[in-house]
A and B are shown apart, each in its own frame.
Chain A
């Protein structure tokens, strides 16, 4: 097993009396392809929010490359290499696709605070943004306003904004959510073509996606880790099947 990129120790978050996430000990290896599954309300998105610093932890710690980053704000964690996508698109809707990607790349390259030369002067930023759009097969719509794209391609832009940050750890919150199944392969193809050294944690409900993509699966139930293992182990685990996989697993087999 390779080195641990991201780790949590006893990570908890309470909202008043409501325990959203409790005592999570979790490890994400470098270059991991790791899926986080669990029923609705299991605390998966809260967990992501704790990892990215959107929410402060009530207890426990988050470590990146062995260093404690629990106290660091969201923007600092991004600089350290944690990027995420959102379950519901958060795009710069009025801007072009290229501008949507220019923004994170400029931010990462340190161009964004510059006031006294035109954005177009930074051809290094534009080059990288265009390159990213080519890789994600978005170059043909680079000039379009992002709100004009079909939803599936908007999901790709959602992904592009995160990849433009060149993260070491990428957290994908249901990347194919809301995408018609006929289009969902373009998202999955893009995810499968991500650079190998990125540690990817994906929240996903679609078990076909999970078993196709993930090398390792963690199951969350009621704010705690319920089981963890390879996809085969998880699928074979009778307790997991009982609480979660039951219907979805049956459905998957019906399709097969």
Chain B
């Protein structure tokens, strides 16, 4: 290419790259100021509500689990009601290794949990992801039910119905012990794990790979027609999602020092789905908002109406389904567009 042609090219290149649409895409992944808020709130919560750190730890685990589901469901559109399979795979990996004295170091334990869950995700994904829609949904439930029954029957390793209590988890870095009565170590540990996983997920969803997942979600047939190896992408996505769910499960087992069949059951899989729908899927922060909303509801409604608190949840879900298909965050976004959207966001960069 001649010098003059390339300079003309670079001039129009600059013009195209500076088009508002191109700029929006180029800057899409940049951190916004409000993205600091959940982390500030989490650290603030540590100091302001020392009596709620157990609750807080549970919340952080729920966020991480919902985040893993968001990758599969929210970004790639993989309809699943069996995500607890991977949560449970991670939890039992940590539990069995620790209970039988093979491995109880927490951080490497989480890596092993991720690995095992990823293997389960990969193998089941090879079969499952040939299907779509309701068939896929049923098969994800089946996978989870098979694992649950396996865990129930392999009593010698898993403790069967009783699970594995009092797991001997080693202190973090050999220093910070998990205290069953005061959850400060657990809370900060869970927060750190969540942060690391979140950075990974955020990188992933804004990458070209993440963009292709949204393409699969929006129009699977068209993705085939643009030459995308759709099934391979879905399997990779499902495997990564399973790995993060496995970390969430492993974390849950570590901070509670026990594991039981509830880590693998339909109730857990349904709850994480509700959390994500409540918060809004396909937007990362839906997991945060949904988990806070769900656990807060559970916590406070259950105090007022111990027997019927789920009625309140049901009403809320009906409301979400009718008026806020994109969850709490989606509702907030459309309200912002309608009432606050005229103010152009000021230049922050």
A-to-B contact residues, CB < 8 Å: 52, 54, 74-76, 78-79, 83-84, 86, 90-99, 102-104, 106-108, 111-123, 125-127, 130-131, 134, 139, 142-143, 161, 164-165
Contact = CB atoms under 8 A, between A and B. Distances in A.
A113 B21 contact: no
B172 interface: no
A165 B227 contact: yes
Q: Which 3 A-B pairs have the closest CB atoms?
A: A78-B227, A142-B21, A120-B26
B68 interface: no
Contacts of A97: 21
B339 to A, nearest CB: 20
Contacts of A126: 16-17, 22, 25-26
Interface stretch (B87-95, B103-111, B207-215, B341-349): B207-215
Category for how many chain B residues contact A:
35 or more
B210 A119 contact: yes
21 contacts: A75-B224, A75-B227, A75-B228, A78-B225, A91-B218, A94-B217, A95-B215, A103-B211, A106-B211, A108-B226, A112-B208, A118-B28, A118-B29, A119-B28, A119-B208, A119-B211, A120-B25, A123-B13, A126-B25, A142-B22, A143-B20
A113 B209 CA distance: 5
Given A115-B207, A126-B26, A130-B22, A95 B218 contact: yes
Interface string B198-235: 00000110111111101101110111111111100100
A96 B218 CA distance: 11
Nearest to B26: A120
Contact of A96 (B21, B206, B226): B21
Contact of B228 (A99, A107, A114, A118): A107
Nearest to A133: B21
B19 interface: yes
Given A115-B203, A143-B21, 4 more contacts: A52-B225, A92-B215, A115-B207, A120-B25
A131 B211 contact: no
B218 A112 contact: no
